[in-house]
Structure 1
Amino acid sequence: MAIAIACFVAVYGVIGGRLVQYGLSEIDSGSRYSAADRSLASRPDIVDRSGIVLATDIRVASLFGEPRRIVDVDEAVEELASVLPDVDYKEWHRKLSSGAGFVWLRRELTPRQQADVLALGIPGIGFRTEKRRFYPGGPVASHILGLVNIDNAGIAGIEKYVDDQGLGTLQDLGLDVDTELAPVKLSLDARVQHIVRDVLVDGMERYKAIAAGGVVLDAKTGEVVAMVSLPDYDPNNPYNALDKDRLNRMSAGTFEMGSTFKAFTTAMALDSGKVDLNDSFDASRPIQIARFTISDFHGKKRVLSVPEIFIYSSNIGTAKMADVVGIEQHREFLTRIGLLTRMETELPEVAKPTQPDEWKKLNSITISFGHGVSTTPLQTAVAAAALVNGGTLLKPTFLARGADHAKVLGKKVLDPATSDAMRYLFRLNVEKGSGRRAEVEGFVVGGKTGTAEKVVNGRYSSEKRFNAFLAAFPMDDPQYVVLAIIDEPKPEEGKSGATAGMNAAPMVREIVARSAPLLGLMPRFGEDEDALLVSY
């Protein structure tokens, strides 16, 4: 019994002693290991649909000090300042005089800086190899890929999504250190992503706009093939990433989408069975309701058929179609196709649409032509895909998704006959309406313009516009939906107009013309396309 008691006392005495030792150790000394483990943890590469690397880890050296081994603090700081820029004398002196076991001095040095410090030969100064995230494309896909912090933890975009799937927890626990991980494959096409950004940058300059954005969406699967919001930032040097104007406008910004909403109002009216393509509505006089007057921008001042209401973008005709359907059914339809609820996708930065708390007749009328409801451009494109793909609503995804998986996830929200009618109207608008400048020979583009006046000091301003063009192609069997937006554009040099047909539509034309061949679509010319293909 004495021997047993002695053994128990000895074992628990050792445990107690170690606990006391850890309790008395310096905080910096303990943080050395957690910081090193977190910064050394691997992140998976992020690649596009073809395997092109969009984000990867590279090894960098970070400078640390061991104050207990520093012989002369003043001399050490002076020597380090001689080879490193912007040394904070007071802060470094405080750290190296603290008596701690470990302190960080500077993270992520260049190889030249590391060599210069090593040449100094200062005792108590050393390097730890860390991993830094590198984005080969720079700002090309910044709002999608997101960011990591100094410890290589995801804080935005797909990087944060990857951590939220459990990677961050494993790294925090030290269970994933310096381990190769399978790459995360996105639905993006890096080539199309570059094209969209190039077109938007050119458009912002040409039309002297404050912002622009665009998305290319696979209408059959819901995959985001490309998405850009400008101004953007370089994730390799994200000094301005938190600036207000760097917001991801496509998924985290809400806007009144203007006349692009007329596509949804028309689809609603046709799908209700209360309106068909052969119906007509009197648009000869403005609508007076309460203290407001609803008129047309370029009114025809006559009775218009449903196709004419669409291609002439008649506010009066669209409002009357919404009135036929009714307020409650109007609200239910927009909810059904996902325009009034928060969109679900992998990006953490997703805004919730805004709508009136109580819908009255005036609300329904103004919402019918795109005023009174604010939604994100991305979910506008997603809802449009349902209009043209046969009536199936698909949640958008930034990850690779097969056609079979998409069929399982899809939700039927429209009658196929309604989708057929909308394809006809989209195409008609590019052939004869406000979308003529979006035509791309050989690719059968269809679409709808949207020119929305912005609210300034509580009133709609005729001087500031938010323009959009919502398109799909090829319209006989739409494969892709394209949406381009441009904020506060000015008339192009030598021209007087600044409506969506003058700026957003040409931007879509350029995106389609340059990206369609890369997406595997062959152009077709004339009415004998089949014979032409056989001849090749």
Structure 2
Amino acid sequence: MKSFLRFDDVKKAFYLKRYRLRFLVSVFSFLFLYLGICTRLIQYGRENFKMKVEKSFSETYRGRPDIVDRHGRLLATDVKTYSLFAEPRRIIDVNETIELLSRVLRDLRLDEVWRKLKSNSGFVWIKRGLTPDQKARIMELGIPGLGFRVETRRFYPDGSIASHILGFVDVDNKGLSGIEKYIDQSGLSDLRAVWRAPALKQLVLSIDIRIQALVHEELKKAIKRYRAQAGGALLLNVKTGEVIALVSLPDFDPNNPLKALQPNRLNRMTAGLFEMGSTIKSFTTAMALDSGVFQLDTKIDASKPLHFGHQMIRDFHGKYRALALWEVFIYSSNIGSAKEAEILGIQHHRAFIKRIGLLERIGIELPEIASPIEPHVWKKVNSMTIAFGHGMMTTPLQTAVAAAALMNGGRLIEPTFLFKKNHNFLHGTQVIKPKTSSDLRYLYELNAKMGSARNTVVDGYRVGGKTGTAEKVVKGRYVKDRRFNTFLAAFPMDDPSYVVLTIIDEPKPEKGRVSATSALNAAPLAAEIIRRSALFLGIHPDFTKEDAKTLIDPRYK
């Protein structure tokens, strides 16, 4: 009996121990499963939150809008890049880390990275704007304490071709110049700051990148050919104010704008101030005709130089006789132009120059725009020298805009770099009489036939223009062998649609020539731009008008 009880007790103890073991296994299994489920739920919650944040970010933060030309060709867009950061406190071996990274990033500043990794910071940038290949190669290194963030970078497919128009952005994709800065100034930066930027549509510019590229190419060749310091060119629609192309050289690459802020790379066409030389005689002549005091056949005494103390006004190629007003323009007489201003008076002269838009800062989308410089007090000598292009400084774009008013019937239209879908010619301000505009078109075409603009003739097109050769001021004095050359052209002259303005800064005489005036460099440059761009603009050559002569009315002879 005792033996049987002992066996029964042993059996009970065995089963009890077995049940306890099963119970513990079940409990631990349940706890393990519970912890696994909790961990997964937390992970899923984090991933879901991250997805929501990313979705919310993508819905509210749209980045910068694409910039396209008037025909929809891409000029600027956002692309995703990878930026490498480090957590210095987690870096095990700084020297080894730098050595490994330098194998992938050849341009890494080692001393700067060493100082960052030796700091006690929780986060430092190592290199931003990496390619997917660079990111993959760094990840293969397996260096602890390094990580990547996806960022947005601006990309300009055409490089420097339109750099002064487009501008550039900083490392945080904020616009610093050009149209890029205009976008931010229009409110994008404020919206981005609070993550409320709406879905941004593409920004359509007025420029035609095909014409922009050929102007860039021709200007580059001209600067090399004439061994000039710099140059610029623009093409403007006289009926809408749209800038079709604008180039200033030297320029920069907005994809890598390290040289953008160098003084010699400023946008000379909008931010440069220059004495525009004899191109200003266009406005002096317009003033004279618009006043009603002068007609095309009015005689002006240009037989001898004008003296003001030690100063003397004389003609470059003087006729030393009385000239009709049309001859003053064709022969580019400084004396005749000064006499026109003298007869009309200082107040009338300044009022006209202001009305035509040459004395006030023009409003355009680009922030790089200079304000004209004029004498604080206009005296007689100031008025007379300004009449032929010295003593007043304006921007080339401003000069072209004023010239457009002379060609389009007399309306001053604000320039724009934005595409105008619906053209409204009536929005301009009438600044001269239509008859005055007609007379100026006649003189421009006549100047191309028998005056200083003969080198701007383009077969199949009726081109007119006015040259300008200004001596530059060095240490307060005009220097004869350093010139700033300009040329104003319009076409087609039977109904002008476009104005072309070219500038050549300090050109040198070509081999076999002793002179480097505007007619020998700035004018041929304008002619080549017109020849290559006309078809892109929808203007076809008309050779039936090639033999048509620009007649001089017998009354004007």
TM-score by length of 2: 0.85
1:334-353 aligned at under 5 Å gives the runs: 334-353=353-372
**Among 429, 441, 445, the residue aligned to 2:447:** 429
- How much has 1:456 moved relative to structure 2? 1.1
Equivalent in the alignment of 1:516:
534
- How much has 1:473 moved relative to structure 2? 0.5
**Among 295, 301, 318, the residue aligned to 1:299:** 318
Report if the CA contact (8 A) 1:270-1:277 is conserved.
yes
Which secondary structure state, in structure 2, belongs to the residue aligned with residue 149 of structure 1? Answer: coil
Runs of 4+ more than 6 Å apart: none
Whole-Å Cα distance in 2 between the matches of residues 67 and 527 of structure 1? Answer: 77
Report if the CA contact (8 A) 2:459-2:546 is conserved.
no
Higher alpha-carbon deviation: 518-527 or 463-472: 518-527
Report whether the alignment pairs 1:56 with 2:77: yes
Report whether the alignment pairs 1:492 with 2:513: no
- How much has 1:78 moved relative to structure 2? 3.4
Report whether the alignment pairs 1:129 with 2:150: yes
- How much has 1:239 moved relative to structure 2? 1.9
Equivalent in the alignment of 2:522:
504
Whole-Å Cα distance in 1 between the matches of residues 401 and 112 of structure 2? Answer: 52
Report if the CA contact (8 A) 1:222-1:406 is conserved.
no
Equivalent in the alignment of 1:171:
192
Amino acid at match of 2:470: A
Per-residue Cα deviation, 1:465-502 (whole angstroms, up to 9, x for no partner): 00011011011111000000000001122222211011
Equivalent in the alignment of 1:230:
249
Higher alpha-carbon deviation: 81-90 or 439-448: 81-90
1:229-308 aligned at under 5 Å gives the runs: 229-308=248-327
Which secondary structure state, in structure 2, belongs to the residue aligned with residue 214 of structure 1? Answer: strand
- How much has 1:290 moved relative to structure 2? 2.7
1:60-459 aligned at under 5 Å gives the runs: 60-176=81-197, 181-402=200-421, 404-408=423-427, 410-459=428-477
Which secondary structure state, in structure 1, belongs to the residue aligned with residue 162 of structure 2? Answer: helix
Report if the CA contact (8 A) 1:193-1:227 is conserved.
yes
Using a 3 Å threshold, how does the CA distance of structure 1 residues 139 and 282 change in structure 2: closer, same or farther? same
Amino acid at match of 1:383: A
Amino acid at match of 2:448: V
Amino acid at match of 1:356: P
Whole-Å Cα distance in 2 between the matches of residues 169 and 422 of structure 1? Answer: 47
Higher alpha-carbon deviation: 120-129 or 331-340: 120-129
Amino acid at match of 1:96: L
Report if the CA contact (8 A) 2:62-2:199 is conserved.
no
What's the Cα RMSD here? 1.9
Equivalent in the alignment of 2:496:
478
Which secondary structure state, in structure 2, belongs to the residue aligned with residue 471 of structure 1? Answer: strand
Whole-Å Cα distance in 1 between the matches of residues 459 and 383 of structure 2? Answer: 38
Amino acid at match of 2:240: T
- How much has 1:443 moved relative to structure 2? 1.3
Amino acid at match of 1:448: K
- How much has 1:336 moved relative to structure 2? 0.5
Whole-Å Cα distance in 1 between the matches of residues 216 and 94 of structure 2? Answer: 51
Whole-Å Cα distance in 1 between the matches of residues 209 and 391 of structure 2? Answer: 36
Per-residue Cα deviation, 1:203-224 (whole angstroms, up to 9, x for no partner): 1011000000001000000000
Equivalent in the alignment of 2:20:
none
Whole-Å Cα distance in 2 between the matches of residues 523 and 78 of structure 1? Answer: 65
- Structure 2: give runs of 5+ residues left out of the alignment: 1-53, 549-557
Whole-Å Cα distance in 2 between the matches of residues 528 and 432 of structure 1? Answer: 15
Identity, in percent, stands at 57
Report if the CA contact (8 A) 1:430-1:436 is conserved.
yes
Equivalent in the alignment of 1:3:
none
Whole-Å Cα distance in 2 between the matches of residues 488 and 302 of structure 1? Answer: 32
Using a 3 Å threshold, how does the CA distance of structure 1 residues 486 and 412 change in structure 2: closer, same or farther? same
Equivalent in the alignment of 1:15:
none
Which secondary structure state, in structure 2, belongs to the residue aligned with residue 510 of structure 1? Answer: helix
Aligned length: 491
Using a 3 Å threshold, how does the CA distance of structure 1 residues 70 and 488 change in structure 2: closer, same or farther? same
Using a 3 Å threshold, how does the CA distance of structure 1 residues 496 and 96 change in structure 2: closer, same or farther? same
- How much has 1:405 moved relative to structure 2? 3.6
Whole-Å Cα distance in 2 between the matches of residues 90 and 514 of structure 1? Answer: 52
Which secondary structure state, in structure 2, belongs to the residue aligned with residue 81 of structure 1? Answer: helix
Using a 3 Å threshold, how does the CA distance of structure 1 residues 91 and 41 change in structure 2: closer, same or farther? farther
Amino acid at match of 1:166: G
Amino acid at match of 1:110: T
Whole-Å Cα distance in 2 between the matches of residues 66 and 222 of structure 1? Answer: 54
Whole-Å Cα distance in 1 between the matches of residues 332 and 307 of structure 2? Answer: 19
Report if the CA contact (8 A) 1:274-1:324 is conserved.
no
Amino acid at match of 1:300: K
Report if the CA contact (8 A) 1:221-1:403 is conserved.
no
- Structure 1: give runs of 5+ residues left out of the alignment: 1-32, 531-536
Amino acid at match of 1:411: T
Amino acid at match of 2:317: H
Using a 3 Å threshold, how does the CA distance of structure 1 residues 89 and 196 change in structure 2: closer, same or farther? closer
- How much has 1:293 moved relative to structure 2? 1.2
Whole-Å Cα distance in 1 between the matches of residues 469 and 222 of structure 2? Answer: 16
Per-residue Cα deviation, 1:352-407 (whole angstroms, up to 9, x for no partner): 11000000110000000000000000000000000010000011100012454442
- How much has 1:527 moved relative to structure 2? 4.2
Report if the CA contact (8 A) 1:213-1:486 is conserved.
yes
Which secondary structure state, in structure 2, belongs to the residue aligned with residue 501 of structure 1? Answer: helix
TM-score by length of 1: 0.88
- How much has 1:288 moved relative to structure 2? 1.5
Higher alpha-carbon deviation: 399-408 or 429-438: 399-408
- How much has 1:87 moved relative to structure 2? 3.7
Whole-Å Cα distance in 1 between the matches of residues 113 and 76 of structure 2? Answer: 33
Per-residue Cα deviation, 1:275-312 (whole angstroms, up to 9, x for no partner): 11120111111112232111100001111111111010
Using a 3 Å threshold, how does the CA distance of structure 1 residues 362 and 529 change in structure 2: closer, same or farther? closer
Using a 3 Å threshold, how does the CA distance of structure 1 residues 404 and 83 change in structure 2: closer, same or farther? closer
Amino acid at match of 1:235: P
